[in-house]
């Protein structure tokens, strides 16, 4: 079933419903996904500033997939970018006063 996701709260609600329907405790789900329990709870409660990479770990752990309704007229550009690749981001510079 495809359900529209417009906010982090929408996604969090889907994660929580799936986890509870599977009878999985929050700490067990978080541990299996390799994320912290506090983080998993924040995602489920719709915190706006969560790390997307970690959200994907939770989705994967619960067997969920995120799909994008991509416009067909942009497919040629997507294929071109996939072929060519995208230049990686430069490494972050240490901020003043930070120690390595």
Torsion of CA 49, 55, 58, 63, to 10 degrees: 140
Task: Specify the pLDDT at position 94.
Answer: 77
Task: Specify the pLDDT at position 95.
Answer: 73
Rounded to an integer, what distance in angstroms lies between the CA atom of residue 36 and that of residue 24? 15
What topology does CATH give the domain 1-85?
A: 434 Repressor (Amino-terminal Domain) (1.10.260)
Average pLDDT value for the chain: 90
pLDDT at 100 over 80: no
Name the least confident of 55-59, 84-88, 96-100. Answer: 96-100
Task: Specify the pLDDT at position 90.
Answer: 86
Summarize the confidence of residues 30-38 as an average pLDDT: 97
Task: Specify the pLDDT at position 98.
Answer: 59
Task: Specify the pLDDT at position 25.
Answer: 97
């Amino acid at each position: 079933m495809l359900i529209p996701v417009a906010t982090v709260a929408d996604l969090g609600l889907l994660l929580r419903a799936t986890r509870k329907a599977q009878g999985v405790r929050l700490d067990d789900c978080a541990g299996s996904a390799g994320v912290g329990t506090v983080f998993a709870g924040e995602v489920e409660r719709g915190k706006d500033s969560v790390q997307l990479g970690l959200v994907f770990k939770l989705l994967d752990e619960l067997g969920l997939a995120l799909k994008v309704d991509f416009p067909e007229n942009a497919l040629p550009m997507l294929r071109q970018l996939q072929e060519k690749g995208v230049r990686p981001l430069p490494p972050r510079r240490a901020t003043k006063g930070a120690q390595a």
